[in-house]
A and B are shown apart, each in its own frame.
Chain A
Amino acid sequence: MNQETELIQPPAQVASKAVKGEAIIKVIDMHKWYEQFHVLRGLNLEVSKGERIVICGPSGSGKSTFIRCINRLEEHQRGQIIVDGIELTDDLRNIDTIRREVGMVFQHFNLFPHLTVLENCCLAPIWVRKTPRKEAEQIAMKYLERVKIPDQAKKYPGQLSGGQQQRVAIARSLCMNPKIMLFDEPTSALDPEMIKEVLDVMIELAESGMTMLCVTHEMGFAKTVADRVIFMDQGEIVEQGIPKEFFGNPREARTRQFLQQILNH
């Protein structure tokens, strides 16, 4: 992929804004089962405020399930997940509070097709945060400018390209002013020529100091912005490290094999 090399070339690693010691996400020995299937097997992770983490691993290794547990789209059965000081339990109020603080961007955008771009962005601030409509629209326009599509505000998602839709999805999440952003393979449903415009927006977001957890196979992106790269396989975190070590000198055989496949691809 072209833009990968493009992104790798400038050695300018986006400066880390991670605040060491201040964990905003804590995952402690977390397990999850789908019926009989043990999909996540004892995950441990601490994410500092402002840290950018890239999660990679083979298909079916549980990456999506993992980050979906963090905003409780999936329920874990053992261990603890603590987000912004609140533990995720069955308590519905906790779940609501956390979902307000955690934005999520999906592989297939999941924009609301019956609403315009602007309405997509304003909906949650108005109904969840009770922001007055005028103000919500101003905020939405601000973020649509940031993802560089303010001129599409009155269009419907079905009238936009994939790359534009994904940028709207990012803006929609940002409108809730979240503390953490989760990305689940945000570029893997996009045509190659649109991947860069979405990655650019994500890089900019990383520069702004947002805490990000990003499942992606865009290794160029990982090298540019990640503070830490995590490799998952079969429901476990196999290896993690700063990009330089992770890519330059992977310790585990499984990681090496995976990276080889990805890079030869």
Chain B
Amino acid sequence: MSDGKVNPVLPPPSLSVGVIGWIKKNLFPSWFSGVLTVVLGYFIISSLIPFIDWAILKADFIGESPADCTSEGACWVFIGTRLDFFIYGFYPESEHWRVNVIYLIFGLIIVPQFFSAVSARIKMILGVFGVTVFPALSFVMIYGSETFGLPIVGTSVWGGLTLTLILAYVGIVAAIPIGILLALGRRSDMPLVRALCVVFIEFWRGVPLITILFMASVMLPLFLPDGVTFDRLLRALIGITLFQSAYMAEVIRGGLQAIPKGQYEAAEALGLGYWQGMGLIILPQALKIVIPGIVNTLISLFKDTTLVLVIGLFDLLRAVQATIIDPAWRNVATEGYIFAAFVFWVFCYSMSRYSQMLERKLHTGHKR
């Protein structure tokens, strides 16, 4: 280029662009990958076709009774007729509207979080509302209140997806702050605080959740004085929350450890106090680093709520299990479980997507 000529700007070679380029680059880059593509492709297609055939092409969607399931495909009619039960459990039908109001508000809080057009400020306000007023409001609406003329509906009839979501939501909203406090405590300068946090975390992490739930339902009443009853749902909630907050604490501690010492020092040198430094400098960065870990924990929390069936709570999975044995229908277990799996998947996948969005949004340029 010393002769002053400038190299021309060239288009990329045609092999690397377009459909053909993509296929060659991604599916057949070498003979081994090519063989793998063909073999895997064969397995995927050969198992997908019968499934689509069963689940969609030959399935019955419309109807009200077992008699409407005439074809050899899936009997989705069954799901349709039991949908109310799957959503509300034994919650009295006349009061379903109360739960629906809460679902509506829940949607209004959650859905905007997924849209970048909504301003950060509104998302923030909705978020704060979601973790403060909303839980209280939900309790009043779902449990009822004499003051507001809403008949009391005891927790023993709560069930289905509603119960699953209550367990998961309360678990998530409570486990994160408790986890943060435990993580900070475990790194505290005060030996007593540190010891308490370590013992707490290691205890809850060391015991299977199912054991905790059994203990909460069977053993706890033995220790309580006669006549004192302790709501079964509340016990499950406490068990799940404390169990998950121990995991959460360890995830968050990982984030705290990843923050360079210089950040703590800069915060101190500027005169920020402990809580200011943590809240404004350290935690925002630490939590951002461990978003994948936090969401991982939240997803497992969501799925672990199904374990409450061992103490007789009627969550979504238990509701499905209870209905598929109805002899009036031909064997609909597959449909039931696929439905339950699908609902769980939708919620868990949404959390996963949301966390990816959040990570992208919080990215602020190059790493140091």
Chain B residues lying within 8 Å of A111, measured Cβ to Cβ, are: 266
Chain B residues lying within 8 Å of A258, measured Cβ to Cβ, are: none
A124 & B268 in contact (Cβ 8 Å cutoff): no
Interface window among A11-19, A29-37, A48-56, A96-104: A96-104
A73 & B270 in contact (Cβ 8 Å cutoff): no
13 contacts across the A-B interface (CB closer than 8 A): A99-B269, A102-B269, A103-B269, A108-B262, A111-B266, A112-B266, A113-B364, A123-B272, A124-B272, A128-B276, A159-B365, A173-B269, A176-B271
A73 & B367 in contact (Cβ 8 Å cutoff): no
Measured in the bound complex, the distance between the Cα atoms of B367 and A110 in whole Å is 13
For B247-289 the 0/1 string (1 means CB < 8 A from A) is 0000000000000101101101111110010001100110010
A71 & B263 in contact (Cβ 8 Å cutoff): no
5 extra interface residue pairs, beta carbon distance < 8 Å, beyond A108-B260, A110-B266, A159-B366: A71-B269, A110-B262, A110-B265, A123-B280, A128-B271
Measured in the bound complex, the distance between the Cα atoms of B262 and A124 in whole Å is 16
Measured in the bound complex, the distance between the Cα atoms of B366 and A86 in whole Å is 41
Measured in the bound complex, the distance between the Cα atoms of B122 and A86 in whole Å is 46
Q: Helix, strand, loop or mixed for chain B's interface?
A: helix
**A113 and chain B: residue at smallest CB distance:** B364
Given A113-B368, A158-B366, CB of A73 within 8 Å of CB of B269 = yes
Q: Is B362 an interface residue (CB 8 A)?
A: yes
B272 & A73 in contact (Cβ 8 Å cutoff): no
Interface size class of B (residues with CB under 8 A): 20 to 34
Measured in the bound complex, the distance between the Cα atoms of B275 and A96 in whole Å is 13
Chain A residues lying within 8 Å of B266, measured Cβ to Cβ, are: 104, 106, 110-112
Measured in the bound complex, the distance between the Cα atoms of B368 and A110 in whole Å is 10
**B261 and chain A: residue at smallest CB distance:** A110
Measured in the bound complex, the distance between the Cα atoms of B271 and A103 in whole Å is 9
For A86-123 the 0/1 string (1 means CB < 8 A from B) is 00000000001001101110101011111000000001
B310 nearest CB across to chain A (Å):
42
For A196-208 the 0/1 string (1 means CB < 8 A from B) is 0000000000000
B271 & A96 in contact (Cβ 8 Å cutoff): yes
A13 nearest CB across to chain B (Å):
30
Q: Is A156 an interface residue (CB 8 A)?
A: yes
B364 & A158 in contact (Cβ 8 Å cutoff): yes
Measured in the bound complex, the distance between the Cα atoms of B262 and A141 in whole Å is 24
**B282 and chain A: residue at smallest CB distance:** A112
A215 nearest CB across to chain B (Å):
14
**B267 and chain A: residue at smallest CB distance:** A112
Q: Is A172 an interface residue (CB 8 A)?
A: yes
A99 & B271 in contact (Cβ 8 Å cutoff): yes
A128 & B270 in contact (Cβ 8 Å cutoff): yes
Chain B residues lying within 8 Å of A158, measured Cβ to Cβ, are: 364-368
A124 & B365 in contact (Cβ 8 Å cutoff): no
B268 & A73 in contact (Cβ 8 Å cutoff): yes
Chain B residues lying within 8 Å of A123, measured Cβ to Cβ, are: 270, 272, 280-281
For chain A residues 38-60, which have a beta carbon within 8 Å of chain B? none
For chain A residues 131-160, which have a beta carbon within 8 Å of chain B? 155-159
**A175 and chain B: residue at smallest CB distance:** B270
Chain A residues lying within 8 Å of B260, measured Cβ to Cβ, are: 108, 110
For chain B residues 110-159, which have a beta carbon within 8 Å of chain A? none
A45 nearest CB across to chain B (Å):
20
**B263 and chain A: residue at smallest CB distance:** A110
A-B residue pairs, 3 tightest by C-beta: A158-B365, A110-B266, A110-B262
A46 nearest CB across to chain B (Å):
23
A112 & B265 in contact (Cβ 8 Å cutoff): no
A173 nearest CB across to chain B (Å):
8
B281 & A112 in contact (Cβ 8 Å cutoff): yes
Partner among A114, A155, A157 whose Cβ is within 8 Å of the Cβ of B362: A114
Chain B residues lying within 8 Å of A127, measured Cβ to Cβ, are: 272, 276, 280
B270 & A106 in contact (Cβ 8 Å cutoff): no
A107 nearest CB across to chain B (Å):
9
A99 & B364 in contact (Cβ 8 Å cutoff): no
Measured in the bound complex, the distance between the Cα atoms of B280 and A102 in whole Å is 20
A172 & B367 in contact (Cβ 8 Å cutoff): no
B316 nearest CB across to chain A (Å):
38
Chain B residues lying within 8 Å of A99, measured Cβ to Cβ, are: 268-271
A155 nearest CB across to chain B (Å):
8
